[in-house]
Structure 1
Amino acid sequence: MALTLLIAPPLCACTPQETAQPDPAIGLDCALPFDAQATKITVQAGLVPAPHDPLEPYKFYSTPHGRVSYLITEPGAPGHPAIAMEVASQGKVDISGCPYGDPKGYAKIMAYLESLKTVTHR
């Protein structure tokens, strides 16, 4: 019995340590129609919706660790319909998106997201 106790602790020390789980984020597929893409994004497990401001024609969603965020436009938004994705990694934020609507309006959305990036990630 004493031998078992001496052997067990080293075996326990070898168990794998728990590591942080990656965000469950999916990438954008601009070949999908807007509604299908928006649905695919919003049904992701663990995705957290931001409180919705009724004065803003956008909905924001983030993964649990906040490394990936999505912006989905609503009617009345510049460039609607459009979807954008922000990915924070290694101290920088990359922004990509799918412009389904007016290109000039989409450019405004991207400029808005770029302005947020410089304010929040200095």
Structure 2
Amino acid sequence: MRRACALLLLPILSLGACAPKAKPAAAVALDCSQPFEALRSKITAQPGLVPAPQEPSEPYRAYSTADGHASYFITEPDAPAHPAILMQQAAGGAMTNTGCAYGDRAAYDQLMAYLTGLKAGRR
């Protein structure tokens, strides 16, 4: 009897192994109407967000989603563009750059150009 039950359960259990994997949560979208601190907290609280090693010479901290489709760059207090948050998203072979400039707009534009150049140089 036990053997018969086990034989009946085997196909059912093997179907569970073929079940689709859960999709990773979508990356937090930038909402520039939120204050800098609130948006930074929302971004860094994402499950699975991977911080890049701290680079003392860089004016920002970098974080990437676990699937690698989105990266965030959050300025440090001593950065000329601070406070600012930038985001790069990869989809369909293209890279999209967006961001929120809370401080000096000219410094933000320079930081955006710098980050865009870094990513382009790695391809």
Task: Please give the TM-score of this superposition, normalised by the length of structure 1.
Answer: 0.82
Question: 1:76 — aligned with what?
Answer: 78
Deviation at 1:12, TM superposition (A): 6.1
Cα displacement string for residues 79-100 of structure 1 (whole angstroms, at most 9, x for unaligned residues): 1110001111111111100000
After superposition, the CA RMSD in angstroms is 2.2
Unaligned runs of 5+ in 1: none
Cα displacement string for residues 61-111 of structure 1 (whole angstroms, at most 9, x for unaligned residues): 001111110000012223111000111111111110000011100101110
Equivalenced residue count is 120
Deviation at 1:8, TM superposition (A): 6.2
Question: 1:59 — aligned with what?
Answer: 61
Question: 1:35 — aligned with what?
Answer: 37
Seen in structure 2, the aligned counterparts of structure 1 residues 18 and 30 have a Cα distance that, compared at 3 Å, is same
Seen in structure 2, the aligned counterparts of structure 1 residues 83 and 14 have a Cα distance that, compared at 3 Å, is same
Q: Secondary structure at the match of 1:96?
A: strand
Cα displacement string for residues 35-76 of structure 1 (whole angstroms, at most 9, x for unaligned residues): 111111111111111000122221000011111100000122
Question: 1:103 — aligned with what?
Answer: 105
In 1, Cα distance between equivalents of 2:13 and 2:71 = 38
Deviation at 1:17, TM superposition (A): 3.2
Confirm or deny that 1:117 pairs with 2:119.
yes
Unaligned runs of 5+ in 2: none
In structure 1, give the amino acid aligned to 2:68. Answer: G
Q: Secondary structure at the match of 2:38?
A: helix
In 1, Cα distance between equivalents of 2:19 and 2:94 = 28
Percent identity over paired residues: 49
In 2, Cα distance between equivalents of 1:7 and 1:54 = 57
Task: Please give the TM-score of this superposition, normalised by the length of structure 2.
Answer: 0.82
